[in-house]
């Protein structure tokens, strides 16, 4: 196996410890030959230097895009994927800067899940509301990519197609990086191994998650908005807001929009900000101990 690990390195200035943990965990638990293919277009110069001198990291020259959010992330992943395939990598893993393996043998185990018809293993963030593959961990063989040419996002034409509407109805999901892989697998009549949350200690249902007792994902470390459109809190609150929108005239809605801050208009964002910072602090204060606690519920 020659493993190419794709990572878009978008890291906040105060997250050097998280970056180091990500790199160290990959190195500690990955025993097959591997190369990390990284894009660093908006990375702080000191972090670029760190990656530049890392023996397993290949910094890829990607044209800088003005896109943001999941569109930016997918743009760079497409570039990294093509470079890894051209380099002859037999297997591809996609990780985030805040996701990494917690158990040695993770790559061999995920490779063992792949068959002619089960073509990918990937995290499922929410079995009820977001059933698509998530790029915090995706794992597949090069042959799947070369035969079916999946993309991380879908074009407007694909999103408007009847086939996509059927997929969307059957498999609820948020449209972000990974949706194109899920749709291509569905369209081809194939399947994928769903990596489900396996925490022995619950923590928070979106942050500090362990999947298949193999991969950790802190969640939302690369962006400041922790709202997670489509999540449980968001959906519940959105239903209430929708009722008020129907009842209130536009003039009153405009006044509310101008006067009410996000923390009141979108309370789930505040809840998630607090949860994220709590989980991040516990992780970085003592990574080894906290990861064991999440996996086993033992301190």
pLDDT in tens, 185-226: 999 999 999 999 999 876 677 889 999 999 999 987 666 655
Please state, in angstroms and rounded to a whole number, the distance separating the CA atoms of residues 120 and 199.
22
Please state, in angstroms and rounded to a whole number, the distance separating the CA atoms of residues 53 and 76.
21
pLDDT band at 264 (very low <50, low <70, confident <90, very high): very low
SS3 106: helix
- Please give the span between the terminal C-alpha atoms of the chain, in angstroms, as a whole number: 36
- Domains of the chain, first to last: 3-201 (3.90.550.10)
Q: Residue 210's closest CA among 50, 45, 99, 64?
A: 99
| Beta bridge partners of residue 7, listed in sequence order | 38
Cβ-based neighbour number of residue 71 at 10 Å: 14
72-76, 131-135, 262-266: the lowest-pLDDT one: 262-266
C-alpha to C-alpha distances, 236 to 42, 146, 239, 266, 267, nearest whole angstrom: 35, 41, 5, 11, 11
pLDDT band at 255 (very low <50, low <70, confident <90, very high): low
Q: Which residues contact 219 (CB under 8 A, 6 or more apart)?
A: 98, 136, 206, 207, 208, 209, 226, 276, 279
Going by the DSSP 8-state scheme, the letter that residue 125 receives in this structure is S
Instruction: Give me the phi and psi of 91, to 5 degrees please.
Output: -130, 150
**To the nearest 10°, the Cα dihedral for 63, 173, 118, 101?**
60
Compute the radius of gyration of the chain from its Cα atoms: 20
Cβ pair 30, 107 in contact under 8 A: yes
Looking at residues 262-290, what average pLDDT do you find? 78
| Confidence (pTM) | 0.86
Cβ-based neighbour number of residue 154 at 10 Å: 21
Q: Which pLDDT tens digit goes with each residue over 42-73?
A: 999 999 999 999 999 999 999 999 998 889 99
Total count of residues recorded for the chain: 299
Residue 98: alpha-carbon gap to chain centroid: 9
Predicted pLDDT of residue 263: 47
C-alpha to C-alpha distances, 278 to 203, 220, 241, nearest whole angstrom: 10, 13, 28
Most distant pair of Cα atoms in the chain: their distance: 62
Please provide the average confidence, as pLDDT, over all residues in the chain. 88
């Amino acid at each position: 196996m020659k493993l190419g690990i794709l990572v878009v390195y978008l890291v906040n200035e105060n997250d050097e410890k998280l970056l180091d943990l990500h790199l160290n965990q990959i190195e500690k638990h990955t025993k097959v030959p591997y190369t990390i293919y990284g894009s660093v277009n908006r990375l702080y110069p000191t972090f670029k230097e760190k990656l530049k001198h890392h023996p397993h990291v290949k910094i890829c020259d990607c044209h800088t895009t003005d896109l943001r959010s999941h569109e930016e992330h997918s743009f760079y992943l497409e570039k990294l994927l093509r470079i890894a395939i051209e380099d002859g990598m037999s297997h591809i893993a996609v990780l985030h800067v805040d996701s990494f393996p917690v158990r040695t043998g993770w790559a061999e185990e995920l490779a063992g899940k792949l068959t002619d018809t089960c073509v990918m293993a990937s995290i499922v963030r929410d079995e009820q509301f977001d059933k698509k593959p998530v790029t915090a961990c995706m794992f597949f063989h090069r042959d799947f990519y070369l035969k079916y040419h999946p993309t991380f996002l879908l074009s407007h034409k694909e999103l408007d197609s009847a086939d996509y509407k059927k997929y969307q109805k059957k498999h609820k999901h948020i449209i972000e990086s990974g949706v194109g892989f899920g749709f291509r697998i569905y369209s081809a009549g194939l399947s994928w191994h769903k990596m489900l949350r396996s925490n022995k200690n619950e923590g928070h249902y979106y942050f500090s998650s362990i999947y298949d007792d193999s991969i950790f994902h802190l969640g939302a470390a690369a962006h400041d908005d922790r709202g997670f459109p489509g999540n449980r809190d968001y959906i519940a609150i959105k239903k209430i807001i929708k009722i008020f929108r129907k009842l209130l005239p536009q003039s009153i809605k405009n006044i509310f929009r101008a006067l009410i801050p996000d923390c009141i208009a979108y309370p789930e964002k505040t809840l998630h900000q607090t949860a994220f910072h709590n989980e991040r602090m516990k992780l970085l204060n003592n990574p080894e101990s906290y990861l064991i606690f999440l996996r086993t519920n033992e301190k």
